[in-house]
Amino acid sequence: MSKGSLTSLVLSRYPNEVFIETGTFNGDAVREALLCSFNEIHSIEIHRPFYENCVVMFKNEPRVKLHLGDSSDCLWDVIKDIDVPITFWLDGHIEVGVPHGKKPIPVLDELNAIGRHHIKMHTILVDDRRVMGTDVWFGLSEEQVIEGIIKINKNYQMSYENSCNAPNDILVARMC
């Protein structure tokens, strides 16, 4: 079972050919994605030591592609040539004592990148709903996140999933 927020049980309910995560950290979500039916698994990490640890950890996993960089900048480069719907796990955020990118909570930039993509039917899971609107998320509210999602496709349906951290902690946007 995952030590992170996302479990393969939750993730398996949102299958697509490709899984993309922002915020690799210690690789928990990548491990969970490997238990599901994804053909490709991409994860973006800004902190070089976390990235390098995961490169070693997943070196024998051909489905896993790790990317070093700020998701605000590189998410578009990762997705622009993908021609199938994607399951996104947006979990890039500041960690105490770890350098961060342009923004401590890049989710709106990530949603803008997703919105640029030619496919408008991706599944989007956003972690840490329990702290949206608080100082932990620098005041960024759930409503602002949902507005960013609706800009991609006004027909997205919102729901919630439990995480390992809290009930209803994962915001899910998908086409029903």
* Domain, as residue range, for 31: 8-174
- Count of structural domains within the chain: 1
This prediction's pTM: 0.93
Query: Does residue 2 form part of some domain?
Result: no
In 3D, which of 26, 32, 72, 18 has the Cα closest to residue 163?
32
CATH code at position 115: 3.40.50.150
Q: How far apart are CA 146 and CA 129, in angstroms?
A: 11
Whether the per-residue pLDDT at 90 is higher than 80: the answer is yes
Q: How far apart are CA 172 and CA 158, in angstroms?
A: 6
Q: State residue 174's pLDDT score.
A: 98
Query: Does residue 85 form part of some domain?
Result: yes
Query: Does residue 1 form part of some domain?
Result: no
Whether the per-residue pLDDT at 136 is higher than 90: the answer is no
Query: Does residue 20 form part of some domain?
Result: yes
Q: State residue 1's pLDDT score.
A: 43
Q: State residue 94's pLDDT score.
A: 57
Query: Does residue 3 form part of some domain?
Result: no
Q: State residue 133's pLDDT score.
A: 79
The pLDDT tens digits for 94-110 are 565 655 666 777 999 99
